[in-house]
Amino acid sequence: MNDIDNLCMNCFKELTDGSICANCGYDNDIQVDMMYLQPKTVLADRYIIGAVLAHESDAAVYAAYDNQLDTLVNIREFLPKGMANRLEGNLDVHVRERFKSSYEKYKTSFINLWTTIIKMRNLSAVIPTFDVFELNGTAYAVSESMDSISLREFLLRNPDGNILWDQARLMFMPVLTTLEVLHSNGIIHGAINPDNLVLCRDGKVRLKSFCISEANTSSSDLEFNVNDGYTALEQYDNNHKMCPATDIYAFSACIFRALVGQNPPDAKSREANDKLMIPNSIAEKIPTHIIKALGGGLQIYPEKRTQTIDEFREKLNAAPAVVAAAANNPEVVERDMIEEEEHYKGYPEYDDMYKPKSKGFKIAVTVLVILIIAAVIAGVYVVKNGGIGKHQSEQTTAPVLETYSVPDFVSAGYTQSDIENNGAWNEQFKISFVADYSKDVEEGIVFKQSVEAGQTVDKGAEILLTVSKGVKTAQLPDVGGMSLEEATKKLEDLGFKVSTVEVYNDGGQTPNTVKANYGMAPAAGEEIAVGEEIILQVYGESVSTTHFDDTQE
C-alpha cells in the first residue's frame, strides 16, 4: 500500500465521499489527541498507524495496516495512564520523572507478556499476536485485527438478555483450554469480563485486552482495571493474592451474566453480604450442576474458590468424580450452592421479609430436593415399566430401541477429558479415541469424528474421535555436500518439501551438490514442523572464461 492519503484511518478502505468513511462511518477529520501517535505515522518501516481504538491501563490501542502482510492489524503501544504521554511533534514517549524507574520495569513486563503470548498464537481463544518490538522509548505488540462483537453486546441483542446453558456451553467451554495454558505459563488475565470476551466471525470466543499483571491490582502505580461484578476480591487492596482462581472468579461471573441476564454484585459488597440471587423462573432452566459449579467459582475468598481450570471444567461437565465428592460431603454442596429465593421479586432488590434461611433450613431444603429428585426418577421408572402391579402380559412385549443424534464433537474445541467426563454422552454412545498430528488444531483438541454430527444412531453406537497431537516436528538433518538427489530424498523421507536456489560455481565445486556451509534454510539441527519448505543452495555448472587475443591477424 503506497498511497495512503485517501484512505480511511479506521478500516483502511478508500474514501469515496469526503472525510466520513462510507464503509465504517469513521470521521477522518477528527482531531487525535497529541499524546497518541498521529494517523499515517509509520512504525518500523512497516506499520501504518490509524485511529485510536482504546486507551487501557497500560497501553493505547490503534487500528493499523501491515504493509508487509498487506492486512489490517491492531497495535498496542505501551503508554501507561498517568505515567507517560507524548509531547506535541515528538514520537518519543515522555515519562514523568518520578515514574521513570517504574516505567522501565513495567515496560519489561509488557514485552515479556506479549512475547509469551506470541508463542501461544495457535490457542483457539487468543487473538494471534505476531510481533513485539521497541521504538520511540516504548514497546509495541502487533495482533491480528478480527471482526467481532463483545459478549455483552451479544447478550443485549437477545430478547431476554440471557441464553440457555446449551448455547453458553458451546461458547464458554473451549475458552477453558486456553486459560489453562495461559495459567501454566504464568499469565493471569485479571480482567475477564463480557467486554473482553468477544465472539469472532469464525464462531470462536476469544479473550482480548491482556494487560500486565501490575495493572490488575489496586496496589499498583498503574490505573486499576476494576470491573464491578467481575473483579475478584484479591485484586483490591487486601492480604489476598492473585492466582488462577482470580480468572476463575471472573469467568464464572461471565457465565452467570450469560445465564441469568444480570451482573453479579461486586466482590466488595459481597464480602459484607454474600448473596447471589437467581430468579426461580431462570434457575429452573439452569442445570443443577452448573449452579453448583458457579457457586464454587464465585466464592468470595480465593482460598475457598475452585482452584484450577481442570477442576472447574470437571464441575461444569458434572464429572463423576465431582458427583461422588458432593455425595460424600454435603457441606461442600451447601457451600457451593447459590441460594434461590422461592418468592423472588426481582434483581437485585428483593423484599425484606425474605430473610436468609438458617443453616438447618438450607440442609432440610437440600435433603427435600434430593428426595424429590429420587421420587421423580422412581416415577419415571414406574411409567417406563408399565406401572406397579401390572402383569407381564399387560406390558409392551416389543422393546423400543433408543436412538440419539450425534453431537458435534469437533467445532466446539472439546478436549478428550471434556468428553470422557460427560456422563450423558458416554451413556448414549461407545466413544473411543485415537491421536494424530495436526498443523491446524492445537494439541489435545478433538478435530475429527468417525460419525458425522447430527446423524441419528442407536444407543451404544461406536464413535471414534481423533485428538490432535499438535504439529509434528523433526530435526533438520545436515545435507550439506550431498548431491541434490540424495539431499532431496533424505528430506522428503522426513516429510519436508524441498526447493532449490542455484549458486555460482567457480569450478572448485561439484555441480548439482548442496553447498556445504550455510547451504540450507532453515539451518541444520533446527526442530522444524513436518511439511515445511526447506530451501537448498545448489551449485550450478562450473563457469570457465576464454580470453580472445584480438591482436592476431
CB atoms within 10 A of CB 23: 13
Query: Does pTM surpass 0.85?
Result: no
Residue 126 has pLDDT above 80, yes or no: yes
Rounded Cα–Cα distance for residues 454 and 456 (Å): 6
Confidence tier at 154 by pLDDT (50, 70, 90): very high
Q: Say if CB 148 and CB 181 are below 8 A apart.
A: no
Q: At 434, phi and psi to the nearest 5?
A: -130, 160
At residue 180's C-alpha, the angle toward residues 175 and 186, to 5°, is: 125
Length of the chain: 553
Looking at residue 370, what is its pLDDT? 42
Residue 545 has pLDDT above 80, yes or no: no
Looking at residue 420, what is its pLDDT? 83
Q: Which amino acid is at 129?
A: T
Task: Say if residue 32 is exposed, middle or buried (CB neighbours under 10 Å; 0-12, 13-18, 19+).
Answer: middle
Region of residue 507 (left: phi > 0; alpha: psi -120 to 50; beta: else): left
Residue 502 has pLDDT above 80, yes or no: yes
Looking at residue 104, what is its pLDDT? 93
In this predicted model, which residue has the larger pLDDT, 332 or 262?
262
Ordered DSSP codes for 186-233: T------STTTEEEETTS-EEE-----GGGGSTTSSSPP---TTTS-G
Alpha carbon 487 to its chain centroid, in Å, reads: 41
Average pLDDT of span 127-133: 94
Q: Say if CB 433 and CB 444 are below 8 A apart.
A: no
Residue 65 has pLDDT above 90, yes or no: yes
Q: Say if CB 365 and CB 357 are below 8 A apart.
A: yes
Q: How far apart are the first and last CA of the chain?
A: 60
> Among candidates 269, 225, 263, 275, which has minimal Cα distance to 246?
225
Residue 11 has pLDDT above 60, yes or no: yes
Rounded Cα–Cα distance for residues 111 and 103 (Å): 12
Alpha-carbon radius of gyration of the chain: 31
Tell me the per-residue pLDDT of 444-475, one tens digit each, with 9 for 90 and over. Answer: 889 999 999 889 999 999 999 999 988 888 88
Rounded Cα–Cα distance for residues 295 and 170 (Å): 20
For the record, the C-alpha cell of 521 comes out as: 534454510
CB atoms within 10 A of CB 493: 9
Looking at residue 345, what is its pLDDT? 31
Tell me the per-residue pLDDT of 295-307, one tens digit each, with 9 for 90 and over. Answer: 999 999 999 999 9
Tell me the per-residue pLDDT of 319-359, one tens digit each, with 9 for 90 and over. Answer: 444 455 555 554 444 444 343 333 223 323 333 322 333 44
Rounded Cα–Cα distance for residues 438 and 243 (Å): 32
63 three-state secondary structure:
strand
**Element (DSSP H or E) covering residue 66:** strand 59-66
